[in-house]
Amino acid sequence: MTRKLFGTDGVRGRANTWPMTADLALRLGAAAGRYFRRDGSSAHRVVIGKDTRLSSYMFEAALTAGFTSTGMNVLLLGPVPTPAIGLLTTSMRADVGVMISASHNPHHDNGIKFFGPDGFKLSDEAEAEIEAMTLDGVEPAQADTIGRAKRIDDGRFRYMERVKSTLPTGLRLDGLKVVIDCANGAAYRAAPEVLWELGAEVIPVGVSPNGTNINDRCGSTHTETAAEAVVAHGAHVGISLDGDADRVMILDEAGRVADGDQIMALLAARWADEGRLAGGALVATVMSNLGLERFLQGRGLRLERTAVGDRYVVERMREGGFNLGGEQSGHIVMTDYATTGDGLVAGLQFLAEMVRTGHPASDLTRSFATVPQMLKNVRFSAGARPLEVASVQEVIRASEQRIAGLGRILIRKSGTEPLIRVMAECEDEGLLAAVVDEIVGAVEAAV
User: For 270-324, how does the pLDDT look when each residue is reduced to its tens digit (9 = 90+)?
Assistant: 999 999 999 999 999 999 999 999 999 999 999 999 998 898 999 999 999 999 9
Residue 84, pLDDT > 70, answer yes
Strand 109-115 with 10-14, pairing: antiparallel
- What local confidence, expressed as pLDDT, does residue 382 receive? 75
**At CB < 8 A and 24+ separation, what contacts does 284-288 make?**
284/313, 284/325, 284/326, 284/327, 284/328, 285/309, 285/312, 285/313, 285/327, 285/328, 286/410, 287/327, 287/328, 287/329, 287/410, 287/423, 288/260, 288/261, 288/264, 288/327, 288/328
Of 101, 103, 240, 288, which is the active-site residue?
Answer: 103
**Domain of residue 265, CATH code:** 3.40.120.10
- What local confidence, expressed as pLDDT, does residue 8 receive? 79
Whether 315 maps to a domain, the answer reads: yes
**Domain of residue 432, CATH code:** 3.30.310.50
Displacement of CA 352 from its chain's centroid (Å)? 22
Q: For the purposes of burial, counting CB atoms within 10 Å of the CB of 175, is it exposed (0-12), middle (13-18) or buried (19 or more)?
A: exposed
pLDDT tens digits, residue range 85-108?
999 999 999 999 999 999 999 999
User: The dihedral of CA 238, 50, 418, 127: what is its sign?
Assistant: positive
pLDDT tens digits, residue range 236-277?
999 999 999 999 999 999 999 999 999 999 999 999 999 999
- What local confidence, expressed as pLDDT, does residue 42 receive? 57
Do 383 and 397 fall into the same domain?
A: yes
Count the domains in the chain.
Answer: 4
pTM metric for this prediction:
0.90
Determine the average pLDDT of the residues in 415-437.
Answer: 91
- CA-nearest of 111, 118, 140 to 34 is 140
User: The dihedral of CA 50, 113, 287, 333: what is its sign?
Assistant: positive
Do 34 and 131 fall into the same domain?
A: yes
The number of C-alpha atoms within 13 Å of 207 and in the hemisphere containing its C-beta is: 16
Whether 255 maps to a domain, the answer reads: no
Task: For residue 245, give its domain range.
Answer: 159-249
pLDDT category, 225, cuts 50, 70, 90? Answer: very high
- What local confidence, expressed as pLDDT, does residue 383 receive? 77
Determine the average pLDDT of the residues in 117-136.
Answer: 94
Rounded-to-integer distance, Cα 429 and Cα 406, Å: 11
Do 21 and 149 fall into the same domain?
A: yes
Do 205 and 271 fall into the same domain?
A: no
- What local confidence, expressed as pLDDT, does residue 418 receive? 85
Whether 254 maps to a domain, the answer reads: no
Whether 1 maps to a domain, the answer reads: no
- What local confidence, expressed as pLDDT, does residue 2 receive? 64
pLDDT tens digits, residue range 39-65?
655 569 999 999 999 999 999 999 999
pLDDT category, 77, cuts 50, 70, 90? Answer: very high
Position 117, amino acid: P
- What local confidence, expressed as pLDDT, does residue 381 receive? 85
Alpha carbon dihedral 310, 282, 188, 199, in 10-degree steps, equals 170
Rounded-to-integer distance, Cα 241 and Cα 248, Å: 5
Residue 421, pLDDT > 60, answer yes
Do 89 and 200 fall into the same domain?
A: no
Strand 419-426 with 407-413, pairing: antiparallel
- Final residue in a domain of this structure, among 249, 278, 307: 249
Find the range with the poorest average confidence among 148-152, 287-291, 353-357. Answer: 287-291
Are the beta carbons of 328 and 221 closer than 8 angstroms? no
Phi, psi of 209 (to 5 degrees): -65, 140
- What local confidence, expressed as pLDDT, does residue 41 receive? 57
Determine the average pLDDT of the residues in 156-172.
Answer: 95
Residue 103 bears catalytic tag: yes
Whether 331 maps to a domain, the answer reads: yes
Rounded-to-integer distance, Cα 345 and Cα 147, Å: 34
Strands in 419-426's sheet, in edge-to-edge order, are 373-379, 419-426, 407-413
Which residues on adjacent β-strands are paired with residue 321? none
